[in-house]
A and B are shown apart, each in its own frame.
Chain A
Amino acid sequence: MATKRTMGMSVAAAGAAAVVAVRVARRGRPGTGHGPGAGRDPDGWKAVTVLADAEALRPGGRYPEPLAALADRLEIALRPAGRDRGTEVHARFRPGEHPDPEALRVALRDTKSLVETGIVQRADPVPHGVRKPTPFGIGQDAIESRSKGMGLL
C-alpha cells in the first residue's frame, strides 16, 4: 500500500515538475512569439530596476561588464524609477542585430546584482549526495543551468 502510494505520488510529482519545466522552457525559449522580444514586449525591450542612480550604472561612461559585453548591439535607456527605487534600465537589441533574449536577461540581472551588491550570487558548486543520471534529473539540471536567462523578464 505504502509502495503504491509512493509510486503514485512520484508520478504525480514528476508530472507537476514536468508542467513547471514546460512552462519554464516555453516562456524562456528564444525566438518565439512576435518580433525581437521573444513573445514578450512586442518591441523587444526588457528592463530591470536597480537601486542606484544613473551615474553608478555607468561609471566612467561604461556599463558594468555583463551589459557592456552586449552594449554595442543594444539600445539602452535609463529612467528614474518612482518612489526612490533607483533607476530603470531598459534594453533591447538594435534593429538588424540577431536578438538573444536569454543573454539579455542574464546581462540585465547580473548588472543589477553587481551594481547593488558587488557580486553575482551563485549556489554552484553545491555539496550534494548521490544524483543518479535519470532523464528527469538531467532535464532539471538543464533547466536550472539556463534559468537566469529564462523567466518573465
Chain B
Amino acid sequence: MKAICWTGIDRVSVETVDDPAILNDQDVILKVRLSAACGSDLHLLDGYIPTMRAGDVLGHEFIGEVVEVGAAVTKHKVGDRVVVGSFIACGRCWYCRTGQYSLCDNGNPNPGIPEALWGQSPGGCFGYSHALGGYAGSHAEYVRVPFADVGAFTVPDDVSDERAVFASDAVPTGWTGADLGGVQPGDVVAVWGAGAVGQMAARAAILMGAERVVVIDRFEDRLGQVVTHVGAETIDYSTSEVIPTLKEMTGGRGPDVCIEAVGMEAHRNRVDGVYDYVKQQLRMQTGRPTAVREAIEACRKGGSVFVLGVFGGVVDKFPLGALMNKGLRFSGAQQHGQRYIPMLLERMQRGEIVSEHLATHVLPLDEASHGYEIFKHKRDGCVRPVFRP
C-alpha cells in the first residue's frame, strides 16, 4: 500500500509499504478515508522527538472503514465507518477504568523507553515515535487498529468525514483541556494557540458554560476562524500585549482557566521567545515553553493552568515561584479520547461542534511534502492538511 513516511528531519516521502495485518484478535484493519496532519507531527518533522526511525508511517488522526475484523472484536463489523482515538488504550487497566485512557498501562509495547524519559509509560499512539509504541500511523491506505472495541467509534451517518475526522484527536484533546482544566459555568477562559486543538478547547469551554473565552494567536486567518466557527473572542499577540489585555477583560483578575495549546515550538515576539529558541536549537532545552510561562503569569490567583501542547523533555526558566505563590493548579495531559468521543460525536451530530473548517487543504497522499510544507510555515491559510488516500 501507499503511505507517507518520516524519512528524517524536514523530510517525508510517499512509499510503498506492506499492508497491515491483524496481529491479535482484538484488532481491526481500516481502509483510511481521511487522515489529518496534526501540529504535533511538526515536532517529529523538526527532529524534537528522538525515537523516530526512518520509514515510520506518520499520522494519528483518522477516520476509516472497517475491512477486516479480529475474532474477539464485538462492536465492529466490516463496512462500519469509524473514527479512532489517537491514543491506543486497553480499556481494562486501572487508568482506563478511571477514564485516563492516554495513561493506559497496556497500550505501549515499548514501556522501557518512556520510563527512561519520564519515569512512567503512557499508552501507545499511532505514528508517533517508538517511545509511544512504534505503531504505524494512518497516513496510508490501510491502518491496523489495536484494541478496536475500545478505541474505534462508529460515526453517525449524518456526520461528514470532514467533521468526524477531528473527533479522533483535535476535538477530544480540546475537550480534555477544558474538562481537566476545571472550566466551570461563568468562568473566563484563555486559550493560547488558535490551531485546531486551541479552537476546539475554546469551543469546549463555551459548551461547558464559560462566560468569556479568549483565544490568543497571531495569524489573522486562524483568529478569523475562532470568531466565525467557535464563537470566542481573540487577542492578536502581534498587535496587543496579552496579559494587560486579559487583565482588562477580566476586571483585573486574570482568567480563571488558562489552556496552553501551542506546545514545544512556541513562537513569541518577546525576549524570552528568542531565549527559548536559541536554547532549543542548542539542545540545552527540548521545548520552548513561552506560552506556558505566559499562561502562568496571566492566570488569576488560585486559577488553573492546563498544558495541552506536546512537550517531550525539559524546559528552562519555568516560573515555579508564580505557580506556588499564586496558588495555581497546574496540570496537563494527552487526550483521553475514548472517554469523550461518543459524546463529542453526538454534539457534532447536533451541530454544537463544527470542525470541518479546520481541514483547509484536503490532499492526496502524493502531496505529502507540499501539505506538510504549507502546514509548517502556515502558508496559504493552512490550518490542517488532511490526506485522502
The residues of A with any CB-CB pair to B shorter than 8 Å are 6, 8-10, 12-13, 15-17, 19-20, 23-24, 27-28, 49, 51, 85-86, 105, 109, 112-113, 116-119, 121-132, 134, 137, 140-141, 143-144, 146-153
A122 interface neighbour in B50, B109, B111, B120, Cβ under 8 Å? B109
Q: Please list 18 pairs of residues, one from A and one from B, whose beta carbons are closer than 8 Å in the complex, sorted by A's number.
A: A9-B46, A12-B47, A20-B131, A23-B117, A109-B111, A117-B26, A118-B26, A121-B107, A121-B147, A126-B20, A127-B18, A128-B55, A129-B5, A129-B56, A129-B57, A130-B5, A141-B53, A150-B112
Q: In the complex the two chains form, is A20's CB within 8 Å of B53's CB? A: no
Taking CB as reference atom, which chain A residue is nearest B12?
A: A129
Q: In the complex the two chains form, is B90's CB within 8 Å of A140's CB? A: no
Given contacts A128-B5, A128-B136, contact A116 B116 (CB under 8 A): no
Given contacts A9-B9, A122-B24, A151-B111, contact A127 B116 (CB under 8 A): no
Q: In the complex the two chains form, is A150's CB within 8 Å of B93's CB? A: no
Q: In the complex the two chains form, is B135's CB within 8 Å of A147's CB? A: no
B4 to chain A minimum Cβ distance, whole angstroms, is 9
B13 to chain A minimum Cβ distance, whole angstroms, is 7
Taking CB as reference atom, which chain B residue is nearest A27?
A: B116
Q: In the complex the two chains form, is A125's CB within 8 Å of B115's CB? A: no
B72 interface neighbour in A23, A118, A130, Cβ under 8 Å? A118
Q: In the complex the two chains form, is A15's CB within 8 Å of B283's CB? A: yes
Bound-state CA distance A149–B110 (Å) is 9
The residues of B with any CB-CB pair to A shorter than 8 Å are 1, 3, 5, 7-10, 13, 15, 17-21, 23-26, 46-48, 50-51, 53-57, 72, 88, 90-94, 97, 105-113, 115-117, 119-121, 124, 130-131, 133-136, 140, 146-147, 281-283, 286, 313
B341 to chain A minimum Cβ distance, whole angstroms, is 20
Q: In the complex the two chains form, is B111's CB within 8 Å of A130's CB? A: no
Q: Specify which chain A residues have a CB less than 8 angstroms from the CB of B7 in the assembled complex.
A: 129-130
Q: In the complex the two chains form, is A23's CB within 8 Å of B3's CB? A: no
Bound-state CA distance A112–B135 (Å) is 21
Bound-state CA distance A17–B85 (Å) is 28
Of A10, A121, A123, A127, the most chain B CB neighbours within 10 A belong to: A127
Q: In the complex the two chains form, is A119's CB within 8 Å of B24's CB? A: yes
Give 8 nearest A-B pairs by CB, closest first: A150-B112, A151-B115, A129-B5, A151-B112, A129-B15, A147-B112, A129-B55, A13-B47
A93 to chain B minimum Cβ distance, whole angstroms, is 19
A150 to chain B minimum Cβ distance, whole angstroms, is 3
A1 to chain B minimum Cβ distance, whole angstroms, is 13
Bound-state CA distance A19–B51 (Å) is 11
Number of A-B contacts (CB under 8 A): 183
Bound-state CA distance A117–B91 (Å) is 8
Q: In the complex the two chains form, is A123's CB within 8 Å of B106's CB? A: no
Interface on chain A toward B: helix, strand, loop, or mixed SS? helix
B92 interface neighbour in A10, A109, A117, Cβ under 8 Å? A117
Bound-state CA distance A141–B5 (Å) is 17
A127 interface neighbour in B10, B26, B48, B136, Cβ under 8 Å? B136
Q: In the complex the two chains form, is A9's CB within 8 Å of B94's CB? A: no
Q: In the complex the two chains form, is B112's CB within 8 Å of A24's CB? A: yes
Q: In the complex the two chains form, is A128's CB within 8 Å of B57's CB? A: yes
Q: In the complex the two chains form, is A10's CB within 8 Å of B9's CB? A: yes
Bound-state CA distance A126–B53 (Å) is 12
Q: In the complex the two chains form, is A116's CB within 8 Å of B90's CB? A: yes
Bound-state CA distance A151–B109 (Å) is 12
Bound-state CA distance A10–B56 (Å) is 17
Bound-state CA distance A121–B88 (Å) is 10
Q: In the complex the two chains form, is A147's CB within 8 Å of B110's CB? A: yes
Known: A128-B56, A129-B54. 11 other contacts (CB 8 A): A13-B48, A20-B50, A24-B112, A126-B135, A127-B57, A129-B15, A129-B17, A144-B134, A147-B111, A150-B113, A152-B115
Q: In the complex the two chains form, is B50's CB within 8 Å of A13's CB? A: yes
Bound-state CA distance A117–B7 (Å) is 34
Bound-state CA distance A116–B116 (Å) is 24
